[in-house]
Amino acid sequence: MTLHMIKLVVGCDTIEDLLAWHAGGTRPWVMHTRQTPKRAAELTAGGSLYRVFKGVILCRQPILAIDTVGEGPNARCEVTVDPNFVRVAPTPRRAFQGWRYLEVKDAPPDLSSGVDGDIPPELARQLREAGAW
């Protein structure tokens, strides 16, 4: 069974900001966290890391691997994700700490590369909140 993960993005307001932050890097895209997910096998079986920017889910990145590094109190988790973003329908999400599991049924749908993908994220969010999209 597939399961997703959701995490807030801190310090970046848009997907483009996050891309610029990682630009030129040769290291793989890794999200660091303290706790290793107990359901890691479900996350790596086709799951994605959904990213929340300023209270709105805007994109996802497929999860490639989940590894625990270190031992004892120094143990940490590294979630390696695909560097390519998949834009999703802007979906409001309240703030939370750390990361959370996201069931497939609750995940926002991907935006097509057609007209929907060309709408600025802020406009898409406003249309969705107004019920017009």
Which is more confidently placed, 78 or 130? 78
Angle 68-72-77 (CA atoms, 0-180°, nearest 5)? 20
Where along the chain do its domains lie?
4-130
Average of per-residue pLDDT across 80-99: 91
pTM of the model: 0.82
Helical ranges in 4-104 per DSSP H: 15-22, 40-43
pLDDT in tens, 97-127: 989 999 999 999 998 755 445 667 677 667 7
Spatial neighbors of 77 by CB under 8 A, at least 6 apart, are: 32, 33, 34, 35, 36, 37, 66, 67, 68, 69
Q: What is the pLDDT of residue 20?
A: 87
The CA-atom distances, in angstroms, between 90 and each of 107, 127, 131 are 11, 9, 12
pLDDT in tens, 60-75: 999 999 999 988 888 8
